[in-house]
C-alpha cells in the first residue's frame, strides 16, 4: 500500500514514511493512493473477531509492511490498557446507540489511536531501519495531549512535547497533562487558542532551521496529531466494528445500512467514518456535528469555508477549532485527486481566510455529509434529556452529537459516537443536569459521582493529589526553541 500527498499526487511513499514523518514534505497530508476494499467475506470473517483483532485486520489492509500477526500483537498490547471492551455499543432506545470510545487510559476517544500509534511507529521504524530519535510535537485542544503523553511516555527512541491553549481546556484535562510522569515528556501552555497552537506546530514541520538543529541532537520530527495517517487507521476500525456489533447482535442484517453521528473538530474522527464507508461498510448518513464554532456546518451547507469569525470558547472545548486540518484529505477526494486544486484552496485559506469549492462540488459534499451544529443551550438540554429520560450520562461533546443527530434517528439505526467520559467535564455535566457546581474541581467530581452514580476512575480522582510538573506558559514564537531545548535534554539522557 503506497501513499501520496494531497498537495502532490505524483509523490509515492511507503506507509512507514507516511507514519514516521506525519506530514508530507510539501505541507500536504498523506493519503492512500488507493483505499483498500473490504469484501463481504472480509466482513463476515471479522464478525467472529474481537476488537483488537478487527483493528489489526483493518490496519493490515493499510500497512502491508507489517503482517497481520505483527499487527495483532500491537493491537492486543495497545487495547490491553483499556477497561474492558475498547468500543462497546450501548443501546438506549430502539434505534439509538452510543459507541463509547472513552474506556482507555485518558478517558477520551483519542486513546483509540494514540495507544496504538507509538507501537506502530516503533515497529515501522524497525522495518525502515530508522535510527533517529522521534521527536513529537503535539498541539492539543484538550484530549490529544494526555493521550499522546500516555502513549509515548517511556517509549524508547521517542520524545513528546505537548502544547495546549492556556485557559482553553477543562480543569481535569489540564491536570491530566501537567502531572504526567516520565523522562521523555514535556508540556507547555500556549498564549493563544487551539488554532494558534496547531499553526505553530505545523510550522515546525516546514522549518529548515529546526530540522538542522534537531539533526545535531540526532532527532527527527514526527507528527502525532490527527493529521498522521497512523492515527486514522485505528480509527477506521471502530466504524467497522460498530457495524459488525449491530449485525452480530441481530439488530440489522449484513448489508443493511446504518448511520453515524460524529461530534467533530479537526475532522479526523468523521474522516475515518467516511473512509470506512468508502472501504465498504454500509453507511447511509454521516452526520458532522459541530458546536457554536460552526465553520463546518456552514461549509457543508454553502461550499464556502471561512475562518473570518470569532473563535468561541464552549463547553465542548475539544471541538473549539476553526481550521479543521483533516478536511484537506476529503477535499482531495472531492477534487478528483487533483492536488493542484487542493493546493490552491489551501493557499487561499492561508492568504484570505476563505475558499469556495463552487456549487457543483458543494452539492457532492452534501451527498457525503449532513452538517449541523448545537448551541450551548441545546448541548445542555441534550445532557439533561438523556439523563432524565434514560438515566444515561454523556459528556458535552457527545451531547453536541446527540443534539444534532437525533433529528435523523427515526430513519433507521443510528450510532452516536461518544468521544469522552463525562468525568472529564464534571462541572459542565453537573450544571446541565440541574445541580450546583462546587468551585473545587475535586469536589465537583465527587458530587458527580454521588448524584449520577457514574463511576469515577481511580486515575482521575488521584490526579488532584499529584504534583504539577509542567507550569510554563509560552508564546507561539517560543515553540521551536523550546523543542530544541527538549531535544538537547533527551540527548543528554541517552
Ligand atoms: C478530539 C475530540 C473531538 C473532535 O474530534 P476530531 O477528530 O478532531 O474531529 C470530539 N470530542 C472529543 C471529546 C475530543 O477529544
pTM for this structure?
A: 0.95
Q: What are the pLDDT digits (tens) for 426-467?
A: 999 999 999 999 998 889 999 999 999 999 999 998 998 999
> How high is the pLDDT of residue 117?
96
In this model, does residue 183 exceed pLDDT 90? yes
In this model, does residue 202 exceed pLDDT 90? no
> How high is the pLDDT of residue 36?
97
Ligand 1 centre distance from Cα of residue 319 (Å): 6
Ligand 1 centre distance from Cα of residue 44 (Å): 30
> How high is the pLDDT of residue 128?
87
Q: Which of 124-128, 269-273, 325-329, 386-390 has the lowest mean pLDDT?
A: 124-128
Q: How confident is the model at residue 360 (pLDDT cuts 50, 70, 90)?
A: very high
> How high is the pLDDT of residue 493?
87
> How high is the pLDDT of residue 225?
86
Ligand 1 atom nearest to 321, measured from its CA = 8
Q: What are the pLDDT digits (tens) for 156-175?
A: 999 999 999 999 998 899 99
- Per CATH, domain 88-102+230-421 is 3.90.180.10: no
Ligand 1 centre distance from Cα of residue 234 (Å): 15
| Topology match between the domains 88-102+230-421 and 116-225+457-494 | yes
In this model, does residue 21 exceed pLDDT 90? no
The preferred substitution site among 145, 319, 320, 396 for testing ligand 1, maximizing ligand atoms within 8 Å of CB, is 319
Ligand 1 atom nearest to 420, measured from its CA = 13
Ligand 1 centre distance from Cα of residue 493 (Å): 34
> How high is the pLDDT of residue 226?
85
| Residue ranges of domains in the chain | 88-102+230-421, 116-225+457-494, 425-456
Ligand 1 centre distance from Cα of residue 263 (Å): 7
Ligand 1 atom nearest to 141, measured from its CA = 1
Q: Which residues line ligand 1 (CB under 6 A)?
A: 108, 110, 143, 226, 263-269, 318-319, 397, 419-420
Residue nearest to atom 14 of ligand 1 (CA): 318
Ligand 1 centre distance from Cα of residue 419 (Å): 7
Cα dihedral across residues 199, 201, 205, 210: positive or negative: positive
The preferred substitution site among 109, 147, 234, 294 for testing ligand 1, maximizing ligand atoms within 8 Å of CB, is 109
> How high is the pLDDT of residue 23?
87
Ligand 1 atom nearest to 424, measured from its CA = 13
Q: Which CATH class for the 116-225+457-494 domain?
A: alpha beta
> How high is the pLDDT of residue 321?
92
Q: What are the pLDDT digits (tens) for 42-79?
A: 999 999 999 999 999 999 999 999 999 999 999 999 99
Q: Which of 112-116, 167-171, 257-261, 335-339 has the lowest mean pLDDT?
A: 167-171
> How high is the pLDDT of residue 450?
96
Ligand 1 centre distance from Cα of residue 213 (Å): 33
Q: How confident is the model at residue 403 (pLDDT cuts 50, 70, 90)?
A: very high
Ligand 1 centre distance from Cα of residue 130 (Å): 31
Residue 299: CB partners within 8 Å, gap ≥ 6?
Answer: 305, 327, 365, 371
Average pLDDT over residues 288-313: 97
Q: How confident is the prediction for the chain on average, in pLDDT? A: 96
> How high is the pLDDT of residue 301?
97
Amino acid at each position: 500500500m503506497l501513499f501520496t500527498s494531497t498537495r502532490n499526487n505524483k509523490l509515492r511513499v511507503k506507509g512507514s514514511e507516511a507514519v514516521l514523518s506525519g506530514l508530507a514534505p510539501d505541507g500536504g497530508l498523506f493519503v492512500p493512493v488507493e483505499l483498500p476494499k473490504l469484501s463481504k467475506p472480509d466482513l463476515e470473517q471479522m464478525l467472529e473477531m474481537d476488537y483488537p483483532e478487527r483493528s489489526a485486520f483493518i490496519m493490515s489492509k493499510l500497512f502491508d509492511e507489517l503482517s497481520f500477526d505483527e499487527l495483532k500483537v500491537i493491537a492486543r498490547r495497545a487495547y490491553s490498557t483499556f477497561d474492558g471492551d475498547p468500543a462497546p455499543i450501548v443501546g438506549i432506545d430502539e434505534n439509538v446507540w452510543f459507541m463509547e470510545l472513552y474506556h482507555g487510559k485518558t478517558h477520551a476517544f483519542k486513546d483509540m489511536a494514540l495507544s496504538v500509534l507509538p507501537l506502530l511507529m516503533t515497529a515501522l521504524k524497525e522495518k525502515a531501519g530508522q535510527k533517529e530519535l522521534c521527536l513529537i510535537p503535539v498541539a492539543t485542544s484538550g484530549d490529544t495531549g494526555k493521550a499522546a503523553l500516555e502513549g509515548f511516555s517511556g517509549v524508547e527512541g521517542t520524545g513528546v512535547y505537548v502544547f495546549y491553549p492556556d485557559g482553553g481546556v477543562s480543569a481535569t484535562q489540564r491536570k491530566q497533562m501537567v502531572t504526567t510522569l516520565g523522562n521523555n515528556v514535556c508540556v507547555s501552555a500556549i498564549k493563544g487558542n487551539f488554532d494558534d497552537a496547531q499553526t505553530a506546530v505545523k510550522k515546525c514541520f516546514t522549518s529548515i532551521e529546526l530540522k538542522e538543529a534537531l539533526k545535531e541532537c540526532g532527532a527527527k520530527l514526527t507528527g502525532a496529531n490527527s493529521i498522521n495517517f497512523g492515527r486514522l487507521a485505528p480509527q477506521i476500525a471502530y466504524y467497522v466494528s460498530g457495524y459488525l456489533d449491530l449485525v452480530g447482535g441481530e439488530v440489522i442484517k449484513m448489508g443493511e445500512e446504518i448511520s453515524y453521528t460524529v461530534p467533530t473538530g479537526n475532522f479526523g474522527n468523521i474522516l475515518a467514518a467516511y473512509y470506512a464507508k468508502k472501504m465498504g461498510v454500509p453507511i447511509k448518513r454521516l452526520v458532522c456535528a459541530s458546536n457554536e464554532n460552526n465553520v463546518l456546518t456552514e461549509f457543508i451547507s454553502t461550499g464556502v469555508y471561512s475562518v473570518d469569525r470569532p473563535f468561541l470558547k464552549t463547553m465542548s472545548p475539544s471541538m473549539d477549532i476553526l481550521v479543521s486540518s483533516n478536511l484537506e484529505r476529503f477535499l482531495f477526494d472531492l477534487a478528483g485527486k487533483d492536488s493542484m486544486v487542493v493546493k490552491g484552496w489551501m493557499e487561499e485559506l492561508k492568504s484570505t481566510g476563505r475558499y469556495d469549492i463552487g456549487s457543483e462540488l458543494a452539492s457532492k459534499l452534501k451527498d457525503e455529509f449532513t452538517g449541523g451544529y448545537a448551541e450551548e443551550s441545546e448541548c445542555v438540554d441534550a445532557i439533561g434529556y438523556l439523563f432524565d429520560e434514560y438515566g444515561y450520562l454523556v459528556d458535552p461533546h457527545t451531547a453536541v452529537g446527540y443534539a444534532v443527530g437525533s433529528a435523523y434517528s427515526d430513519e433507521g439505526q443510528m450510532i452516536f459516537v461518544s468521544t469522552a467520559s463525562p468525568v472529564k467535564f464534571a462541572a459542565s455535566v453537573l450544571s446541565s443536569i440541574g445541580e450546583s457546581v462546587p468551585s473545587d474541581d475535586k469536589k465537583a467530581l465527587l458530587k458527580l459521582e454521588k448524584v449520577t452514580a457514574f463511576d469515577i476512575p481511580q486515575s482521575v480522582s488521584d490526579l488532584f493529589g499529584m504534583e504539577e510538573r509542567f507550569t510554563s506558559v509560552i508564546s507561539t514564537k517560543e515553540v521551536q526553541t523550546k523543542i530544541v531545548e527538549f531535544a538537547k535534554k533527551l540527548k543528554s539522557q541517552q
